[in-house]
Amino acid sequence: MWDYLQHLSFWDWLAFGTLLLILEVFGAGGYLLWIGVAAASVGVLTFAFPDLHWTLQFILFAILSVLTAVLWWRRQRSAAKPSDQPGLNQRGQELYGRIFSLHEAIVSGRGKIKAGDTVWLVVGPDLPAGTAVRVVGQEGVLLKVEAAA
């Protein structure tokens, strides 16, 4: 084993990098991508400098693995920006604070409102049909309402 480590060639590093990149394709979530790039980079450096000692190759591999992962993480973090539509794909969020009339009375804490062409189940205090209610929250598919002042 030690003899093999002391005579690593650029082919070994390129094969290792290729193996890591292939494993990344199967769903590692980006973890193996930058380690594979680092291994391929060490392979290129070993090709350019064939007398590179094996311990230095491993040190370069470790440094490049951490460096590429950190640089990518920082780039991803700086590129992330808040959405201009924070409620997108969160049905019911756009109804918060709006006032509707009860489509069906709230009995035993449950009733219905009609918002546009959609009927929503609501929870709140018992109120008769036609009462104006304000949407104050959401529990899954149920809207929380209270009587509008």
Q: pLDDT of 35-46, one tens digit each?
A: 999 999 999 999
68, 27: one domain: yes
**Alpha carbon distance 46, 27 (integer Å):** 29
For tokens 């929503």, the residue is 120
Per residue in 105-115, pLDDT (tens digit) is 999 999 999 98
Let me know if residue 85 belongs to a domain.
no
| Cα 139 to the center of its chain, rounded Å | 23
75, 11: one domain: yes
Its domain, for residue 105, covers: 93-147
**Alpha carbon distance 15, 57 (integer Å):** 15
Let me know if residue 84 belongs to a domain.
no
Residue 70 is predicted with a pLDDT of 92
- 24 and 36 Cβ atoms separated by less than 8 Å: yes
Per residue in 8-41, pLDDT (tens digit) is 888 998 999 999 999 999 887 778 888 999 999 9
Cα 43 to Cα 31, 117, 145, 147: the distances in Å are: 19, 62, 64, 70
Here the tokens at position 121 are 């189940």
Confidence class for position 102, pLDDT limits 50, 70, 90: very high
Burial 47-68 (b: 16+ CB within 10 A, else e): eeeeebeeeebeebbeebbeeb
Residue 66 is predicted with a pLDDT of 94
54, 116: one domain: no
Q: How many CB atoms lie within 10 A of CB 147?
A: 13
How many Cα neighbours within 13 Å face the side chain of 145? Answer: 35
| Cα 90 to the center of its chain, rounded Å | 16
Residue 107 is predicted with a pLDDT of 94
Amino acid (one-letter) located at 70: V
CATH of the domain at 113: 2.40.50.140
Residue 67 is predicted with a pLDDT of 94
